[in-house]
Structure 1
Amino acid sequence: MTPSTPPRADPAERSRAIVDAARRVAETEGWSAVTVRRLAAEIGFSQPILYRNFPGGRDEIVEQVMIEGFAAMADELADPVGEGDRLAHVVHTYLAFAQTHPALYEAMFEARTRIVFATVQTPEPLRAAFGAFLRAVSAAGMAEQEAVVRAELLWSTLHGVARLAASERLDPALEQARLGAIIALFVS
């Protein structure tokens, strides 16, 4: 028998269940295990119900995971309360986020999507996360273009460190020295 959705299920609740199931499967088995068929079986919905909520199928589901991931990252990267060092906060928080949420991080940065970065069409959660980098590297009197380039370089540096650390290509004994060096590179 084909699973089906309860007739009165709220579309927002169905979407939430689908996205949560995608993250759960990815966290335990990797993104290759996330298929529409697998998600339907996982949550007891029929495949047509999944496509009704996400007409773009798996790719659209992963995009939603990605957007939610950037929203969560933006929240964590937000200016620290009572702390004055935004740069150190961004460096430490970003790398901790990547380490704590490896499947989510992979979806955010390595999944092929239709989402465009660095344009007016970029979804707000992505712009909010980038805003934390921008605030961390901006200095009084700095030209906007220079600040954006520095923010992109900080983000790129941290992404490289996060990926190399995840694949155990960096010496863990050097972590504090590495973080200190990154911060020193970007101090205004």
Structure 2
Amino acid sequence: MPTQSRRERARAERRDLILRTARELAESEGWEAVTTRRLAEAVDYSQPVLYGHFKNMNAIADAVALEGVQELTAAMRSAREAGGLRALAQAYLDYAAEHPAVYEAIFVRPTELAFGTPESPSPLKDAFEEIVAGVQPFAGDDPETLTEVFWSALHGQATLDHSARLRPTHRKTRADLLVSRLTGS
């Protein structure tokens, strides 16, 4: 048994190294720079070793996305508990700005992850439920639809901010205005 658990630990460590390296490459050079050849060289394993962990590059990006959405959810939860919906909105936008490649993996890149279905991975459901928790007090009888509208507005701001289409000095003001309109305060 000890040998098996050592093998399992080594496999988990390799997987973590692959994901960490893919994320670092994507954050520094963009997802187009993350290829199996480049990743294999960076982690000092052969491409077949990568394929032993992940089916393809999209599977690697999806795994980075799932890790990222867990981080985003934790940031939103902490912010919401401390400062309500306004703080949640700011945490969402801050995460998108601080981790653009991870945000892209979660919400922009083509993915095989199912969003908004009963089969969605639990980290995706948890993220949505965290936004619902912030919106619910202001939602009336349809909190999920209002959550989708709110989330869409935040995503639009994050995407437009990333592509430098909006005034960077007004990011907080835009988020505050969105929350004010939604909450009536």
TM-score norm. by structure 2 comes to 0.89
Alpha-carbon distance between aligned partners in 2 of 1:121 and 1:36, rounded to the nearest angstrom: 28
Q: How many residues align?
A: 178
Give the structure 1 partner of residue 38 of structure 2: 38
Displacement after TM superposition at 1:185 (Å): 2.0
Alignment partner of 1:78: what SS? Answer: helix
Kindly indicate whether residue 184 of structure 2 is the aligned counterpart of residue 185 of structure 1: no
Alpha-carbon distance between aligned partners in 2 of 1:82 and 1:184, rounded to the nearest angstrom: 18
Displacement after TM superposition at 1:131 (Å): 1.1
Alignment partner of 2:106: what SS? Answer: helix
Give the structure 2 partner of residue 127 of structure 1: 125
Q: Which runs of 5+ in 1 are unaligned?
A: 1-7
Give the structure 2 partner of residue 172 of structure 1: 168
Alignment partner of 2:137: what SS? Answer: coil
Give the structure 2 partner of residue 100 of structure 1: 98
Which whole-Å deviations, capped at 9, do the CAs of 1:132-159 have from their partners, x for residues lacking one? 110111128832xx10001111110001
- Percent identity, aligned pairs only, is 35
Which whole-Å deviations, capped at 9, do the CAs of 1:83-107 have from their partners, x for residues lacking one? 3x42111111000000010111111
Give 1:161's match in structure 2, choosing from 157, 160, 172. 157
Alignment partner of 2:112: what SS? Answer: coil
Large movers: runs of 4+ above 6 Å:
none
Q: Is the 8 A contact 2:58 2:111 kept in 1?
A: yes
Q: Which runs of 5+ in 2 are unaligned?
A: 1-6
Give the structure 1 partner of residue 4 of structure 2: none
Alpha-carbon distance between aligned partners in 2 of 1:105 and 1:47, rounded to the nearest angstrom: 26
Alignment partner of 2:165: what SS? Answer: coil
Give the structure 2 partner of residue 151 of structure 1: 147
Displacement after TM superposition at 1:170 (Å): 1.1
Which letter does structure 2 place at the counterpart of 1:168?
A: A
Alpha-carbon distance between aligned partners in 2 of 1:173 and 1:140, rounded to the nearest angstrom: 28
Give the structure 2 partner of residue 74 of structure 1: 73
Alpha-carbon distance between aligned partners in 2 of 1:116 and 1:79, rounded to the nearest angstrom: 26
Which letter does structure 2 place at the counterpart of 1:101?
A: H
Superposition RMSD in Å:
2.0
Displacement after TM superposition at 1:79 (Å): 4.4
CA shift in 2, pair 1:79/1:186, >3 Å = farther
Displacement after TM superposition at 1:28 (Å): 1.2
Q: Is the 8 A contact 1:79 1:132 kept in 2?
A: no
When structure 1 is superposed on structure 2, of 166-175 and 35-44 the one drifting more is 166-175
